[in-house]
A and B are shown apart, each in its own frame.
Chain A
Amino acid sequence: MAEVTLKNVTKVFEGNVLAVKDFNLTVADKEFVVLVGPSGCGKSTTLRCIAGLEEITSGEIYIGDRLVNDVPPKDRDIAMVFQNYALYPHMNVYKNLSFGLELRKIPKDEIDRRVREAARILDIEHLLDRKPKALSGGQRQRVAVGRAIVRNPAVFLFDEPLSNLDAKLRVQMRTELAKLHQSLQATMIYVTHDQVEAMTMGNRIVVMKDGIIQQVSDPLTLYNHPVNKFVAGFIGSPPMNFIEVEVVRQGNDYYVKNGNFTVLVKKDAYEKVKDYEGKKAIFGFRPEDLIDENIVKPEEKEGKLIKARVEVIEPLGSEIYLYLTSGKDSFVTRVPSHYKAELGQEVGFVVDLEKSHLFDIETEEAIY
């Protein structure tokens, strides 16, 4: 098992396409780190650089204490699981698992022991004689994971391993992979574009955009304290609401204000918004951080209320998504399933100030 360190890693593809820029990250031993971002953000390229499938343009990659820049993929002590499984179509499951070990000249009985052990862990013992063609998507995925397990590598790399599975199976495999990480106690780096996967699986999450790291932190910090508007909007579903506002001062209090509502800035952020007085900014709040005004005491509504009109009602069974408009601004909120509202009705919601955010309109960095 090992730590993985990337120092100032940059990857430029032919034709001057910048894929990864100045990437710095240390993945601790036994840690499960998820790289997440929209397609084309450089997350897969970063993973492939760690694997050695892509040469890095500059920077250094360490696996354990060893600089691996010039070490070929097979000697990096890593194993990778691919999105399309990459099973060898003409070999049965057993052969697929043993192939890498045979090439490494590991004794036959040791190979057999490891293959059966991996098959047992993944519950694919009964499939060992089958060819990949005769397996379902989920089974293929298990074999692909098994091929990594038998190698007993220092680092596991996963490149969107669940994207080809149907939704139900994906949820199931997600928990299984998380369990696997706990039982193997291995360093794992996992790439996905699915923020739910990222949130549920990672010890730490690396959010990337345009080849640049936006934020590295544990899932809850990422959710509650995004460093910029991109991270705030990327993590969470439905995404955070953003409304353009102006920061104003009335007496000792700061407010954010647009044509339709005026809401207080949270008290402990006054120091941070001081310089923004009279300037435009972006106010952000998550759909679940709006509270139905009818269950809030009148004295607690003051400076927090937003009135809006119901445009669309999406009942999900367990809860309801309400799409609301307030003037020219629209936003979404989630309410309990017993909430009653009609289309076009005027409703009021109270903002949970402690969980609200404000972003600079130019840099999109979080002000608080």
Chain B
Amino acid sequence: METRFSSKLVNAVRKGPLHAAILLICLIWFIPTFGLFVSSFRPANLILTTGWWKAFKPPFVFTLENYYKVITTSNMGRSFINSLIISIPSTVMPVIIAAFAAYAFSWMKFPGRDALFLLLIGLLVVPIQMTLIPVLRIFNRLHLTGTFFGIWLAHTAYGLPFAIYLLRNFIGELPVSIFESARLDGANHFDIFFRLVLPTSMPALSSLATFQFLWVWNDLLVALIYLGGTPTVAPMTVTISNLVNSYGGGWELLTSAAFISMILPIMMFFFLQRYFVHGILAGSVKG
């Protein structure tokens, strides 16, 4: 017992600094979010005059008015729906296309395969800003600007290089003999893709989908450029950024609006945490 206790103690002391650092980082990340959360329930005049921590001293004044106002007057409801309409296809499309592409890049032989893959990897380093004007001009000509379809295409294209790269790493690592065995079993490429590769790649596909969804959901730049601020199509990020402009210092509305936009990503994180972590490690750690 004695030794077990002391070894535990040694362990705790040794790992102490690590744990302290992690706690500190968590706090640094968490405090602003928590402040935002508290502020979103405070009346406008209090937000402007005192810090959010004062909310925990009497008089305890909390209100739902900010949420009410944002949802009813500033198009947040519509924007929430728009964000979903934008994000879901913009996630599904690149993941599916990337899965097909990753399979082809890993397991099909065709001329120029490696060159094409290298080109694709090269696209990873092209900054998005460089593409905005040329793509916008093409979109204008094709009348895709301001349409959901246009932004689906844009997000799909921007997401594909990384998506293919990530999935190829995963799908390419599946053991060769499984594919050979399937071929002997009588499977063609479609059988192999749909019945073997897709089911076994679920972890990679889910983590990729999580990433892509969060990126599209939080995106302001691409939406602003290709959709503009039209209320019928604007996602939440655009609407929130407009809040600042139209209301000047409408802090109290910003806080609640921001929190509404965070709900979905936070929920996703909690439910898909496992895949999220897996996705970060994908490619770097085997197994």
* Interface-facing stretch out of B38-46, B135-143, B156-164, B185-193: B185-193
Q: Do B200 and A80 touch across chains, with their CB atoms under 8 A apart?
A: no
Known: A53-B180, A82-B177, A82-B180. A90 touches B199 (CB 8 A): yes
**A-contact 0/1 string along B162-199, CB 8 Å cutoff:** 00000000000001011011111111000100011001
Q: Do B177 and A86 touch across chains, with their CB atoms under 8 A apart?
A: yes
Q: Do B180 and A84 touch across chains, with their CB atoms under 8 A apart?
A: no
* C-alpha gap A207/B95 in the complex (Å): 50
- Does A100 interact with chain B (Cβ within 8 Å)? yes
| Closest chain B residue, CB of each to CB of A85 | B177
| Closest chain A residue, CB of each to CB of B179 | A86
Known: A103-B186, A103-B191. A89 touches B181 (CB 8 A): no
* C-alpha gap A82/B175 in the complex (Å): 11
The interface residues of chain B lying within 8 Å CB-to-CB of A100 are 184-186
Closest chain A CB from B206 CB (angstroms): 14
Select one of A80, A83, A89 contacting B184, CB under 8 A: A80
Q: Do B181 and A82 touch across chains, with their CB atoms under 8 A apart?
A: yes
The interface residues of chain B lying within 8 Å CB-to-CB of A72 are 183
| Closest chain A residue, CB of each to CB of B181 | A86
The interface residues of chain A lying within 8 Å CB-to-CB of B185 are 74, 99-100, 103, 147, 151
Q: Do A86 and B183 touch across chains, with their CB atoms under 8 A apart?
A: no
Select one of B177, B186, B191, B200 contacting A90, CB under 8 A: B200
* C-alpha gap A72/B181 in the complex (Å): 13
Closest chain B CB from A49 CB (angstroms): 13
| Closest chain B residue, CB of each to CB of A151 | B185
Q: Do A73 and B184 touch across chains, with their CB atoms under 8 A apart?
A: yes
- Does A78 interact with chain B (Cβ within 8 Å)? yes
Select one of B178, B182, B184 contacting A51, CB under 8 A: B184
Q: Do A86 and B175 touch across chains, with their CB atoms under 8 A apart?
A: yes
Q: Do A78 and B184 touch across chains, with their CB atoms under 8 A apart?
A: yes
Greatest chain A CB density within 10 A among B180, B182, B199, B200 is at B180
Select one of B180, B182, B187, B200 contacting A89, CB under 8 A: B200
Query: Which of chain A's residues 43-82 have a Cβ closer than 8 Å to chain B?
Result: 51, 53, 72-74, 78-80, 82
- Does A88 interact with chain B (Cβ within 8 Å)? yes
Query: Which of chain A's residues 77-109 have a Cβ closer than 8 Å to chain B?
Result: 78-80, 82-90, 99-100, 103-104
The interface residues of chain A lying within 8 Å CB-to-CB of B183 are 53, 72-74
Query: Which of chain A's residues 284-336 have a Cβ closer than 8 Å to chain B?
Result: none
* C-alpha gap A357/B225 in the complex (Å): 86
* C-alpha gap A51/B200 in the complex (Å): 25
Q: Do A103 and B178 touch across chains, with their CB atoms under 8 A apart?
A: no
* C-alpha gap A151/B184 in the complex (Å): 10
* C-alpha gap A90/B174 in the complex (Å): 12
The interface residues of chain A lying within 8 Å CB-to-CB of B195 are 99
The interface residues of chain B lying within 8 Å CB-to-CB of A90 are 196, 199-200
Closest chain A CB from B60 CB (angstroms): 54
| Closest chain A residue, CB of each to CB of B199 | A90
Q: Do A88 and B186 touch across chains, with their CB atoms under 8 A apart?
A: no
The interface residues of chain A lying within 8 Å CB-to-CB of B191 are 103
* C-alpha gap A147/B187 in the complex (Å): 14
* C-alpha gap A38/B25 in the complex (Å): 57
* C-alpha gap A87/B178 in the complex (Å): 7
The interface residues of chain B lying within 8 Å CB-to-CB of A104 are 186
* C-alpha gap A79/B178 in the complex (Å): 13
Known: A86-B175, A86-B177, A103-B191. A79 touches B184 (CB 8 A): yes
The interface residues of chain B lying within 8 Å CB-to-CB of A79 are 184
Greatest chain B CB density within 10 A among A72, A73, A86, A89 is at A86
Select one of A78, A86, A103, A151 contacting B180, CB under 8 A: A86
The interface residues of chain A lying within 8 Å CB-to-CB of B182 are 88, 99
Closest chain A CB from B192 CB (angstroms): 10
Q: A74-B184, A80-B181, A103-B187 are known; give 7 further A-B pairs, CB within 8 A.
A: A53-B180, A73-B180, A84-B175, A90-B200, A100-B184, A103-B191, A104-B186
Subset of 24 A-B contacts with CB under 8 Å: A51-B180, A53-B184, A73-B180, A73-B183, A74-B183, A74-B184, A74-B187, A80-B181, A82-B181, A83-B177, A86-B177, A86-B178, A88-B178, A88-B200, A90-B199, A99-B182, A99-B195, A100-B184, A100-B185, A100-B186, A103-B187, A104-B186, A147-B185, A151-B185
Closest 5 CB pairs of A and B: A100-B185, A86-B177, A86-B181, A74-B186, A103-B186
Q: Name B residues whose Cβ lies closer than 8 Å to a Cβ of A.
A: 175, 177-178, 180-187, 191, 195-196, 199-200
Q: Name A residues whose Cβ lies closer than 8 Å to a Cβ of B.
A: 51, 53, 72-74, 78-80, 82-90, 99-100, 103-104, 147, 151
